[in-house]
Amino acid sequence: LGREAHAYALKRFLEENAFMACSIIDMYAKNGSVTLSLKAFDGLKEKSAASWNAMIMGCGIHGRAKEAIKLFEEMQRT
């Protein structure tokens, strides 16, 4: 229940604060929690250039090159 409450609060917070959302995505990615970073990124209604960059870099530095390229291509389409 605690994790679910935390996830809900985090999702609501990320939707309202783009700067903090990007910081959290970057933090998770830099700490090797790319899956959590992707969850936070996917939860964004509007993705900024900074959030795309943080997510692409996070995948790239942790050996997930195919995901990084896929994200880059998706970014170009949007």
Q: What digits encode the pLDDT tens for the residues 12-53?
A: 776 677 787 888 888 888 888 899 889 888 888 889 999 999
pTM above 0.85, yes or no: no
Domain boundaries, the chain: 2-77
DSSP conformation class of 46:
S
d(CA 12, CA 18): 11
- Beta-carbon count within 10 A of 25 CB: 28
